[in-house]
Amino acid sequence: MKITDLKPEIVWKFFHQVTQVPRPSKKEGKMIQYLESFAKEYKIAIKKDAAGNILMSKPATPGYEKLPVVILQSHMDMVCEKNNGTVHDFDNDPIETIVDGDWLRANGTTLGADNGIGVAAELAILASNDIEHGPIECLFTVDEETGLTGAKALEKGFMTGDILLNLDSEDEGEIFMGCAGGKDTQAVFHCKQRPTNPNMLYFKIDVKGLNGGHSGGEIHKGLGNANKILVRFLYLLNNEADFTLCSIEGGNLRNAIAREAHAVIGLYSEDKEQVRVLLNNYTADIENELKHIDPNVQITMESTDRPELCLSNFDMEKVIWALHACPHGVIGMSHDIEGLVETSTNLASVKMRHEAETEQLIITVGTSQRSSIESCKNMIANQVASVFKLAGAIVTHGDGYPGWAPNPDSKILKVAQDTYKRLFNKDAKIMAIHAGLECGLFLEKYPNLDMISFGPTLRDVHSPNERIEIKTVGLWWTHLLELLKSVPAK
């Protein structure tokens, strides 16, 4: 079975088309061209703002002209992650999809159902002539995944509706009415280097096999973080043997839990066996800790060529200590909504580059913080900053984005609840989400918006294990169409 054989056909048809268009965050040009071509083909009114956000408009179907304008919204970019050994150029290659039992996944890469399935649903409604709805506007934003810059740049007056349906949630049967705000914290180390010792042996330590995942939606699961696992071993090693650190890197995106990390170290030959024993014992501990959530974790140590340079001992210890001390994971749970993570932080990435002018090694550490309480978001961002400042790093914060405060009196929420119960004879769960959505930013420019977020079931987004449960797309699509024609008249 192929993706084009799935039901509802029109949604999967457009999702397949979306997967064929490369659309990394900040590189949405090809996706914008695709949307513009779509609008031309189906004779849909379209406009684009300076940031690249697209708005398409469609009038009401006969008999529904008195309904208020409803905005459907999705983001067009996707997280680009792939497995080691997977050959894929996200700038140019289409996503290869695989029907795997009840799920659709990609072949060794992220699938991009976050939020390509929302884009597909909007296109399906715009292209159809047999769906009943009032006047609609379909908003496609850019760069949600790496800073929400499209939503931040959205100008007043670009949209006209007062009801917004965000199609970027990941659990069918759950309707979201609020989300956390977020902030990035970056630390930069300027490290002195020295020539490596020709009398040492050199080894590459790899942490791999982890699931990774969304640093908002899955932070509560206790998934392994490759950066933390690697630096925890280096801290132990520093207490047991005389070694040098030549390089250290791990993770990639601020909103993904690091799946892989590696370091190159130098050891004296007499310490080699002792270090292997230390690593074997450490690996056993990690496997035991993660056996229920990340059972495929691997930590390996293999011989490698001698690098030219290594960090000074002083800088090596500063980097190791700071990364080991940096918090990661859930910081606090909500007291308002049972089971909701209130505050968290993600040690997302460690990247390095050589600066030729100063002959220094620049190590950049990327982290992200989230909270549904603004003061707690700033608190954990400052706590992370303090760790790195104590180690002598230069620390900066991103602008961040606001949370979306729940509105239990929302009219569209009530309609969504009623339609779900009528369709499926069961209650939808009303939730807030720890992941960031663009809704909080929309409220800054459009304070009168009445919003909810809902979607089909996705798992392991922001990782190559990302997948979408096929049957839930039909359920979500049915609910969406019923909701569009049930919006109360103006």
Closest CA to 83 of 472, 466, 479: 466
Helices (H) and strands (E) in the chain, counts: 11, 25
**DSSP code for 67:** S
Say if CB 433 and CB 220 are below 8 A apart: no
d(CA 448, CA 262): 48
Please identify which of the residues 28, 122, 143, 144 carries the catalytic annotation: 144
Those residues whose C-beta lies under 8 Å from the C-beta of residue 87, and which sit 6 or more positions away, are none
d(CA 230, CA 233): 5
Say if CB 340 and CB 406 are below 8 A apart: no
Q: What is the dihedral of CA 294, 296, 299, 303, to 10 degrees?
A: -160
Kindly provide the b/e burial profile for residues 308-331, where b requires at least 16 CB atoms within 10 angstroms of the residue's own CB. Answer: eebbeeebbbbbbbbbbebbbbbb
d(CA 81, CA 87): 11
Those residues whose C-beta lies under 8 Å from the C-beta of residue 283, and which sit 6 or more positions away, are 299
Residue 100 annotated to the active site: no
d(CA 139, CA 72): 6
- Residue 306: Cβ within 10 Å count: 14
Please identify which of the residues 28, 77, 114, 469 carries the catalytic annotation: 77
Kindly provide the b/e burial profile for residues 58-71, where b requires at least 16 CB atoms within 10 angstroms of the residue's own CB. Answer: bebbeebeebbbbb
Residue 93 annotated to the active site: no
Which active-site residues does the annotation give? 77, 144
